[in-house]
Chains A and B, each alone.
With several copies, the nearest count.
Chain A
Amino acid sequence: MFKKVLVANRGEIAVRIIRACRELGMETVAVFSEADRNALHVRYADEAYLLGPAPSRESYLRADKIFEVARKSGADAIHPGYGFLAEREDFAEKCAEAGIKFIGPKASSIAAMGDKAEARATVIKAGVPVVPGTEDVGNMTNEQLLAKAPLIGFPLLIKATAGGGGKGMREVKSLEEMPALLQSARREAESSFGDGNVYLEKLVEGARHIEFQILADSHGNVVHLGERECSIQRRHQKLLEEAPSPFLSEELRQKMGSVAVKAAQAVDYVNAGTIEFLVDKDENYYFLEMNTRLQVEHPVTEMATGIDIVAEQIRIARGRQLSYAQEQIRFNGHAIECRVNAEDPFNGFMPSTGRITHSLLPTGPGVRVDTGVYPGFEITPFYDPMIAKLIVWGETRAQAILRMRRALEEYRIVGVRTNIPFHQTLMDSHRFMGGQFDTRFVEERFTMNDSAERDATSAEIAAILATLVAHQESERSAHIVRRGERDTSNWKWVGRWERMHR
């Protein structure tokens, strides 16, 4: 039974896992890159060890160094979080060999589900419907994929075999543009997962992305914690998730839930995992993939069920039985998560880097923020742009939306641009409020800064604000010049300068 957990990750998820360990009375070991010496996970852990330079390949992806830290610190378990080494079967295997408990599924389940092609083949055998694609072949060459594509039909998706989170994914409209897209998808997959393999999948149009959270213990018990609606995406990156889905009927929920449990059982699954489905407008659902790890969006399920998923992961890894049978799991109210990214929504969602100079978190009833950043922390270009998750709970979906609105309006992050205004615009959108959206909604039927929606008063206020700031600036620079002119002795300034730096 382990006592000391090494968290092989960074950012908000490392902080989340460290908190869960601490609340269970377990010691924690953080690892960090040179860019992350002052990161929150380093500050909050009991122990912290440097892995290497900032790029992930030289730090967070260095399994060898992580094992060295585990040995040195005496950590007897590793939690991989999401991304990085979370879905690498060889890493899980080496943990087992080193006598370190991997807090996640068995290596064989990761292998079966991690290779998306094999996963599809496996669940088809278990009777689970899948999206048409290159189900039966892994590691195809570009030539093979180009030959197969017309048989699937366009539009189709190139997806990373080792993938997740939309990375290494490309949409293909025709055969002509496919070679270039294959190349860029492989490049992104290689840099994100260290594995450039890709496969093809038919693009289901007008679809919703709905996933089921699974928990399975080592005694053969498997339950699902209901679904998450994840259709609000941009470039296949999830931006907002909610639970429950406004689209699912109770009947469909039950049906898909038991299919999800079946899919997990097909690979003898243990620990937390997620079964992703596409659901079309006629309520047909297709297995997409299984994520054999904790998801970014797990908090919406936590808020809607009251179950601490990370704590359950640790209990499962310690060999305990699940704390809940399926019929004990209650769904209460509605939860929404907005991913706060360091991206400028008014400038093509361009990533934004820099030092956070100030921050004000929304707090109060029903609001949770999971973040790894704070004022003084530098957002570097080396890692994912997601800097925080804002999660709210309400008794109904309408209440949750109203609460999210006030929380977004309160949230201040200064020093980098964020996509908070995107979420604010989304919360005001009638289609979002009405639950009328699919995975293409953000890209095809949504605009930032629709000038028609601006009212005259706000424009006038914006004009007043800009004028007052501009006026203040020009007064200040004039003042500095005047001060400079007036001073006969500049020694006074030296004194001030030095006092400021004492």
Chain B
Amino acid sequence: MKYITTIESQEFEVEVIDERHIRIGERLIEVDFEAVSGQPVFSLIVDGRSYESFVYPGDEDWEVLLHGRQYQVKVEDEREKRLRAAAGGGVAETGEFHLKAPMPGLVVATPVSEGQEVKKGQVILILESMKMQNELKAPRDGVVGRVRVKAGESVEQKQRLLSLH
């Protein structure tokens, strides 16, 4: 199976040949790859070098944590890549954004209201969790849609809090 794997702007063509071999670009590489204790922790030996890493599924990408650094990695097979190219590339920057609770907690304040224009980075909600006040910020400029929660309310993780369009 052939994959196009992207980190930031760097593309790698990776072909998984069998359990022990991959081809990256032109190079055939022997890999010794094992999940550790059934966890999202992986041990990889390549050319005698021993690496260990967390690999988590992100929303669209994979998050790879290696030696204290995090890499956002997109892995697409050739078919996916072609489809995306045909679609014109790039996810629309203008679609609706739903702010979800990153963890369970207590809503402390909702400093914005429906219809209000906000700038990227502006605080749109304050959530208390683990005795800390966490300021949730707008990921881009936009207009506040429905505000679904109010101060004093307890929310579950991933609960929708408000939307931005």
Contact partner of A381 (CB less than 8 A), chosen from B3, B70, B104, is: B104
Contact partner of B64 (CB less than 8 A), chosen from A37, A49, A465, is: A465
Contact (Cβ within 8 A) B39 A353: no
Residues from chain A with a CB closer than 8 A to the CB of B36 are 38, 43, 376
Residues from chain B with a CB closer than 8 A to the CB of A142 are none
**Nearest residue, chain B, Cβ from A37:** B34
Question: Using an 8 Å CB-CB cutoff, how does the interface string of B18-55 with A read, 1 for contact, 0 for none?
Answer: 00001010000101111011111111111011111111
Contact (Cβ within 8 A) B133 A184: yes
Q: How far is the CA of A73 from the CA of B47 in the complex (A)?
A: 9
Contact (Cβ within 8 A) A451 B1: no
**Nearest residue, chain A, Cβ from B64:** A462
Interface residues of A in 454-489 (CB under 8 A from B): 454, 458-471, 473-474
Residues from chain A with a CB closer than 8 A to the CB of B65 are 421
Contact (Cβ within 8 A) B68 A464: no
Number of interface residues of B (CB under 8 A): 64
A352-B103, A458-B67, A463-B5 as given contacts; A45 in contact with B50, CB under 8 Å: yes
A-B contacts besides A56-B131, A72-B48, A187-B108, 13 pairs, CB < 8 Å: A42-B50, A43-B36, A167-B131, A184-B126, A346-B63, A409-B68, A424-B67, A424-B68, A454-B69, A466-B5, A469-B55, A471-B3, A471-B16
Which residues does B use to contact A, with CB under 8 Å? 1, 3, 5, 7-8, 10, 12, 14, 16, 22, 24, 29, 31-34, 36-46, 48-55, 57, 62-71, 73, 75, 77, 102-105, 108, 126, 128-134, 137, 157
Contact (Cβ within 8 A) A470 B131: no
Contact (Cβ within 8 A) B40 A353: no
Contact (Cβ within 8 A) B42 A460: no
A-B contact count (CB 8 A): 183
Interface membership of A326, Cβ < 8 A: no
A167-B131, A192-B131, A382-B130 as given contacts; A449 in contact with B31, CB under 8 Å: no
Residues from chain B with a CB closer than 8 A to the CB of A473 are 57
Interface membership of A412, Cβ < 8 A: yes
Interface membership of A272, Cβ < 8 A: no
Nearest CB in chain B: distance from A119 CB, A:
23
